[in-house]
Amino acid sequence: MILDDEQRRAQIFRAGWLTAAAFLLIMLLVLTAPIWATTLQPYRFLRFDLGFFIVAHGMIVVLIGTVYWFNQNQEQIDREFNAPGLA
């Protein structure tokens, strides 16, 4: 399938914004983890201090979720522009 210029621009624009949003999310997560962890340390969750839980597990779960959210949306964009993968 050959995309016209307008479709190419639209696909690149939407994929670019999706990438920026996902990357910003993981950067924010890594950069602000100590703040979250310190602030939430007094609270408890599953017998863990919440700050401990965020550093040991919460960050990782959010990172996994972010990649799955990114992949789902990127696939959606590809489907919309009828480009599911390399032929």
Partner 1 sequence: MSLNTHYAVVNPRLGASFAIFTSAFVCLVLMLVILEQLGLSRTSIGQIMALAPIGLYLFIGVMARTIAVDDFFISGQRVPPLYNGLSLTVNALGATAALSLTGALLFAGLDAMAIGAGVVAGVAALAILFGAQMRKVGAFTLPGFFGLRFNSRALRFAAALLLIPPCILIFAAEAKLAGLAASFLLPDMGRENLTALAAAAVVACVILGGMRGLTWTQCAQTIVLFIGLGAPVVIVSLMLTNLPIPQLTYGYVVQELSQLEVAKSLTSSAGATVPPSQAFASEGFAALTQPFAKLFSSIDEVDFVLLALCVMLGGAALPIQIARLSTTPTVGAVRKSLGWSVLLTGALVMTLPAYAAFIKFYVAQDLSGQPLSEIPAWGQQARSLGLLTITGDALNPALGESETRLLRDAAALILPLAGKTPYALFGLVAAAAIAAALAAAGAQLVSIANALSNDVHYNLVNRAASPAKRLLIARLSIIGAAIVGAWLAAQPGYDPLMLVLWALSIVAGTFFPALALAVWWTRTNGTAILFGMIAGFIAAVGVIAMGEAGGPFGVDSVTAGAVAAPVSALVIVVMSVMARAPDEEAKEFVEDMRISAGETLYARALRLAARGRSPRI
Q: Is 47 left (phi over 0), alpha (psi -120 to 50) or beta?
A: left
Q: How many residues bind partner 1 (CB under 8 A)?
A: 50
> Quick check: 46 binds partner 1 (CB under 8 A)?
yes
> Quick check: 55 binds partner 1 (CB under 8 A)?
yes
Helices (H), the chain: 5-40, 50-53, 59-80
| Residues 75, 85: Cα–Cα separation, whole Å | 9
The residues of the shown chain that bind partner 1, judged by CB under 8 A, are: 1, 3, 8, 11-12, 15-16, 19, 22-23, 26, 29-31, 33-35, 37-38, 41, 46-49, 51-53, 55-57, 59-61, 63-64, 66-68, 70-71, 74-75, 78, 81-87
